[in-house]
Each structure stands twice: as C-alpha cells, then as structure tokens.
Structure 1
C-alpha cells in the first residue's frame, strides 16, 4: 500500500518557501524602524540631562541605543538591526535641525557630537558582535 504524496512534502523534490515568510520579515523591519525612531527621539531629548554634574543623560541614551541594537540583532538578524539604525539616524537628524525659533536639540557641542557619533557606534557594535551570541546552537 502506498501513501499519497502531498504536493508540498519534501519527497517531491521541490519544496516551496514557507508561505507568509516575506511579510513576517517586512513586519519585523517596520517594527525595528519604528523602535529605532522612538529610541532616537527619546535619546535626543534626554542626552543633555545632568544629575549632580554627572552626564547621566548621554550614558543612558547610549545604553538604550546599544540595547536596541542588540535586541534587534537577537530578534531577527542584521536586517532589522539596519532598519532600527535607519530609524534612529532619521529621528536624530530630523531633531538636529534648528526649529522655527532657532532652538536646537543637538547642538554642535561635545555632548551633541558624542550622541550623534556614539549612537552610530552603538549600532556598529551590535552589528559586529559574534554570531554565536545570538544562537542557541552549540558547536
């Protein structure tokens, strides 16, 4: 007695891609883009905060940026990490432009430059972390 072969079973030779995989990847990229933009806005607003003359705002802003990069890399790989970085860059650069009254959230001072370039560095660190840190496989 033979068993019927289903058209999508591996024994037929050609296995179609899992349905719905492309939209999951697109949804992850869009969510990562939004997360990067939110972190960019929050960090831009908070990066100049000081507590007892300690630059607590920039430390926390860079820490949340690094944690976002690691989260996106662990969640779905380099694609969402790049999307989060793009959202972060757009948000930070949009808020760096002088407003209608001439106010600037990211001035051309040391703390503003540390925030701009340090945040980019945090995404680079997340991108170049070892792949083995983000897998459950032993070997």
Structure 2
C-alpha cells in the first residue's frame, strides 16, 4: 500500500467535516417531522459516507463515518444544563443512533464496483 498523498489527506479532512455536519444535522433534525425527518437524516448520512468512499477511498470512508458517529455520540449525551437531543423515552432516539451505525456498516459492505470507476484495459 502506498502512503497517502497530500491531496488524499485534504480530501479525508473534508469528508471528516462532512461526516460531522451530517451527524450534527441529523441529531438535531431527526425528530422534526416524524417519521420523515429520521428517514431523510439517515439518507443524508448514507449519501455523504457513500460519496466519501467513492471520492477518497477508505480514508474518506473512515473519516466521514467517524465524523458522523462522533457527532451523534457527543450530541447524544447530556448538555451542561441537563438538556438532551437524543432521548431514550421513545423509539426515535435509539432508532437514530442505531440507524447511523447500520448505515455506516451498510456502506462498508457495499460492493467495490459501486464506488470505483472501471478502467478499460490499455492496449
């Protein structure tokens, strides 16, 4: 395996930011319009992680998936005033947290042909 280039590291940093953005927006908005808020937020995470894997490769996948999961886990804890964005009193909070993990795992097991260009053989 070749060491990552500077461009790959910059792209991974961008995908980390996109993962953090998707996790933050989803955590704040997953309860907005039930059940479509949850569905749209999970689709947002799916698209960002899948596009990151296609654009950068595994570095991008790990960065965006880690950013999304990190944002969800940090925002799921109680704030300084005791406020929480993800509650366990109903099914919406656990569905969001478990859904993000399942979406990230789904992208990890996606076939390589979905995310890589097929190059024709050179004569």
TM-score (norm 1): 0.77
- Unmatched 5+ stretches in structure 2: none
Q: Secondary structure in 2 aligned to 1:83?
A: helix
1:66 to 38, 46, 61: 46
TM-score (norm 2): 0.87
Which residue of the partner structure matches residue 108 of structure 2? 127
1:84-95 correspondence to structure 2 within 5 Å: 84-95=64-75
Pairwise CA RMSD: 1.9
Which residue of the partner structure matches residue 105 of structure 1? 85
Contact persistence 1:69–1:127 (CA under 8 A): no
Which residue of the partner structure matches residue 48 of structure 1? 31
Which residue of the partner structure matches residue 31 of structure 1? 14
The CA distance in 1 between the partners of 2:24 and 2:86, in whole Å, is 11
Give 1:117 shift: 1.1
Larger relative contact order (Cα-Cα within 8 Å, sequence gap ≥ 6): 2
Alignment size in residue pairs = 118
- Unmatched 5+ stretches in structure 1: 1-16
Spell out structure 1 runs of 4+ moving beyond 3 A: none
